[in-house]
Structure 1
């Protein structure tokens, strides 16, 4: 600006300066520069007005915020920002408790619709919830009730009511029973309405409010049909809160009062589980056996058989557990239940360090056609069985067999047991008794490496890399492997990773003519300034960027979720054993990005948490989408359920916490850092145990680890009974592996080919 003020203005550098000032907290400078942009009628004026409104909003001056939002609508009636502007105006009236104006704004929005909006359905439902509350603020309870009922009736999946259905249930409770009774008493309703609202609360994990409605059904409608379901759901809610001692009483109540009801079987299973959680093992076994006796042909009978084995193990009755396993194998001969029971025996032998019996059981397992995998609780896979056979061989010093089994498992970015096998091989390569064996194996493979077949050379180099610990030798092998990949079509043809090259490249010396396509011109101007948080959505809107370039634009624009989505779809056809260290840097940036670095660094600095593990969890939980909500009512980047987030908020001393705060990335990351810090204190230096706890609960992980009698993941991961949690560990740890290869602990990118 000092050198050439005209050049500074023509190239919109004042807008860039304003954005930089705003990001650094220098709001006076930001406001001044945004005013300059507007005054000279820059093509970026609409963005400057939008940012000015946000500056006033952040300062608490919502009156001036609305002045600029109105100016945006008046000056740029066709702006893509106008929908966001109108939505923000309506919300500002709500925040100022000017409900009549809020109603008028929401009615205008409802009439104009949300066409071409990516999240139109969600935005419309959010507006309806706010509009209904605005009606309440103006005393129009009938109109509020109508909108709240619409929100419940139009939920996309009635079995998974969303945040807005939850807001509607709360609004209706306030109308029917008064705000002062929320959380204390349920309003007077018929049983169907109680059950409807209770179901919404229960799914969204507001168990206290759900219980009020279920209790009202039982107490106020004693002859009604829903009483068994209400009784069952009270017990289920208590169990989900971890209040198992109270939960089994409700399940027993259902069994006593309604023994023939269709929910009696579910109540038996739930009661047995609750008894087991409270250390009442005899009662747990009794209820599982009762289920087997009453429902011998039920599709869940196998779970009762298998759970008895686990309960007996927890009770220390291992001989009886093995007998039960044999019985279960006979009952489910030829079915997946046979494999589950046999795997339970194998795990027990591993915990006992009875390697011979473990190998025999695992050997039998390897011959079965269906091991269950991640489809069933307590299932296993061919990869897990092969690894454990190798592990058992290793313990009895049958090292050659162990090496063969480990090498038989392919390694790659998504191969958990392939990775664990590689780690075992490298440990063997450094052991005094086993180092010569590994060296002999390396020599044998190297001497046979003169083949001209690229596939055979690739397999040889993969094996050599897995057994080599010397870094220089590994780098040499990687260079040779890179050359071999160039002779293999599937390995050399990697997805394109073009950086975005749109936008102009040179400084303008004179004002440009009026654009023929205003949207395209704005997109290119924002890209020229490097403001991809605003450029990327514009580029996608005008459709001028190629897919690889668009992925890059979203990545540097702070939308890692969209970049990952694009990159994963293009990487899907690459062989799963592609050597991780040879993945190109640009592919890694898109497949394994490191967004929110400042928040990650700050929140983990004083905690026992590696920020790369949080990224690995984030990638699996939400694929970096900050506003996602799961079918289990988990919210945000790190997917917290309400019971956990409420506890963490208490630990952090956050009094005004709301569940929707989890959609704010810095808050989600803070909560995740706090939670995982606590998990690491329970399971020191055990990332797999922390990952399993994050998904399946720390109490469950403690039980699984206790069964394994080991702090080694090679012993306790097979004990993870929840199929979803075990698969989660595989995926998070695979993510973590890649992040540790390509990023240091401060999240700076590193080159594995040159790093020491």
Structure 2
């Protein structure tokens, strides 16, 4: 019996469930905002010190819920355990076990058994009473008893008229009484069933203002959402209120349609954020003159707001050199938090004006007056790299050390701290090198450089030349955290693994998507992840780091101390085909998972602007070439299994082209073999860390670090050996 099975057996035994009584003795079987926008947002919000999460659950936490150990198992795997618990009315999780058992029986087309399991359950489980009635109605429908199904749906409307589940009842009963659909629209406009009703009605009334407005506000998750916004603005522009325009602008912004978002924000209620986004959206949409006007309006309307500082910096890049200097001087004088960035921009303007000495003085001002800033860290790092390139390793080492002291919370700090170690080694300072590597692991545990540091300390994490064939031990089980926002019903559904029902309920409860609290944004991210929206879900969790309010930062820090937070960021979708094809291609499955996370955020239907498709972003012509090589007659790039089959073959191919060096293979996967060959000719390959830093394509440079950073995070979160080592570092 595996460790996971043994733990489950112990837990259920403690709970009073006899494994011997279980029938048959069955054993268990085991890129949203673009980089420019993201960099800009990071510059607004100070980075929070990353800390190592607590990885071990306490015994009390482990024993808190036996059901929690079962939610990720298949119906067949958990059936004997649920049946054992459901036969003990005094068991503390008796209602939960019956609920899950009924769900499973419905899923397996056993409606009669589901109805029997649900009998009188709502009296024992009032928290989910409405959902229990819904399950019963679904079971009657599956059984073909439409009379009892209708009566049960009607019972929901009678006993739970204001519960969101009533929207399901209105939807079903509205199929024979359309008046009830109008009631759903009036009472539950945000419910996904109501959104479905509105979308259906729109087919016969395609320009209905009420329907389009409802969908614009509540249908952000629909694939044709942008088309809905286009239709609304095209057909009803004159009738839309400023609040409507703000809603529309938010939708366009979320869908990365910045040009249309900027135009809509220009018509939204006047706030610093809306005025700023009007300018920024128009700028990114290529409407330069309109953007200039919007930024000027921002400054004249809100001369002292933080958004104005960033707007003036953008404005300086759109105008002639002389007015650019004037705008930057305003930022330097009035906005200390943006003065370092303004000084760097001013140095560029001065260089363009042939005032190199003044430009140098501007950069020096960053180091002397704003020594703690991100810009100061960047200047120091540039100086350290220059010193290293010129062979002055001692100066480079000292400058990198200065970053760890003066700028420990900047984006440059993990890299600088790692190179403190590398350069110390080259200088023969082995003890200093060890201290530096341990510091990186302690202070920046989720960084790419933490992986490189772990390797330098001799940990079994795989190097570029060995990672391909590494077979790390992985414990895939992930505990569910308790959601910080939402109703008790929502939290209960989530704990039970009823993710689609929880997500549905959240659509009604989440009423503030434009300005969410930390708890709401975190919960929204989890809800998205649980229903397969990994792209936006990961973004929602990651972007919590950009909060600038001290209390919100504290809330975020508390959330990120939980193991489940990190495991949500690094999940294992499509585990079975990844493992299968990785084994077939002799590839480390964690490396494949890490690459997929970077390529597509696990979104099987995603397509890049150049046509790369699916989980591993296979280009159509590349897929066709691979299919010919492996005699694959039929495939679909948006089919997860097909895509992984083709993508892993190509990753195996790039490895074979570079003697199984995973650094070169991954770089080639992104940039193509021709470019990698050129870089090898230009830079050589004496030191892989130096080679990475010299990659001239910004995209590939970031890609390599992201893929191997992802790999490291999967190791530190799921590999028992590395988890134990990390606990000792801290």
**What range describes the TM-score normalised by the shorter chain of this pair?**
0.3 to 0.5
User: Which structure is richer in relative contact order (CA contacts within 8 A, separation 6 or more)?
Assistant: 2
TM-score by length of 1: 0.43
TM-score by length of 2: 0.44
Computing the radius of gyration from Cα coordinates, the structure with the larger value is 1
